[in-house]
Amino acid sequence: MIKKDIDWLAVGALVVAMMVWASSFIALKSAIGPMGPMSVIFGRMFFASLCFVYFIKQFSKLHFTKEDIKYIAVMTIFEPCMYFIFEAKALQNTSAAQAGMITSMMPLITAVAAGIILKEVITKKLVIGAILAVIGAIWLSISASSETNALHPLLGNTLEFLAMVCGAGYAISSRHLSSKFSPLFLTAIQAFVGAIFFLPFAIWEYNSIGAHITLDAALWTIYLGVVVTLGGYGMFNFALGRMEAGKASVYINLIPVFTVILAFLILGEKLKFFQIIASVIILSGVFISQMPTIKLRKRRIKS
């Protein structure tokens, strides 16, 4: 079998996509302070929806069955509805760096959920990796002390973990839809549903708590809706057109690394020594869980 050269365009696109998605933690953390979580999430979904208005005529030609509608409902309930509620509340209680580290567990949670729900194979290394990652996440949360950027880290990290569970539910339900609908449509329907879902929450938050819409908060919100949604989505799907999905998914593990770097540079957040060790354990668990796939590929090449 001829060994293919590395597609540096695809690799570059994936690295940029991961950096953009990692920056969403910084943007969300920065905007939530003055505006409130529900107002920021609504703003994000609203600006993302505006980017997809042009495609509505194209989407209106699609045909939907009752089963399609059921799966779309399940997908959107998981993400953006429940996912962003958990994530927004998480970032009110923990640091962007710690939340980003919990994100690295997303592939593991998805793999375990797929094994239980879709009856996909769960290997021993996947189980070991999952256990290590969970231990690391618990240690990361317990070892964190209350600080300005992380008032209640244990609660915040738990909420971020629940967001990852919702993300896994979204990934599994979207697998069925992706065979019939384009990623563009699936992303757009999430934005439209999210804007409608979070509108009453934003109105309630504004009337009861009040929101101070500063220029910085507004710009971060627009950034979330336009750059993170379209930029990250565009780069990732460009890479998927040139690289296998399995290889592309490995790059998701760059998100916590970029989040820690950006949180340090922009927000001044720092991870203590024990938190760094816990983060290494999480990433090690993720790496171990992916080793079977790497070995299988090597065997196929040899044969």
Per-residue pLDDT reduced to its tens digit, 114-150: 777 766 666 777 677 777 877 877 776 666 665 656 6
pLDDT < 50 stretches in the chain:
1-3, 292-303
Domain hosting residue 157, numbered range: 8-302
What was the pLDDT predicted at 23? 93
**Residue 138 confidence (pLDDT):** 72
Q: Do the domain assignments include residue 3?
A: no
2 within domain boundaries: no
Q: Identify whether 70 is part of a domain.
A: yes
Residue 260 lies in a domain: yes
| pLDDT recorded at residue 297 | 45
In this predicted structure, what is the pLDDT of residue 2?
44
Query: Is 1 inside a domain boundary?
Result: no
Residue 200 lies in a domain: yes
CA distances from 200 to 13, 119, 163, 205, 232 (A): 36, 38, 21, 8, 27
- Using a 10 angstrom Cβ sphere, with 0-12 exposed, 13-18 middle and 19 or more buried, the burial of residue 11 is middle
Region for residue 210 given its phi and psi (left: phi exceeds 0; alpha: psi -120 to 50; beta: otherwise): left
As for how many domains the chain has, the answer is: 1
CA separation (Å) from 197 to 39, 45, 46, 99, 200?
A: 12, 9, 11, 24, 7
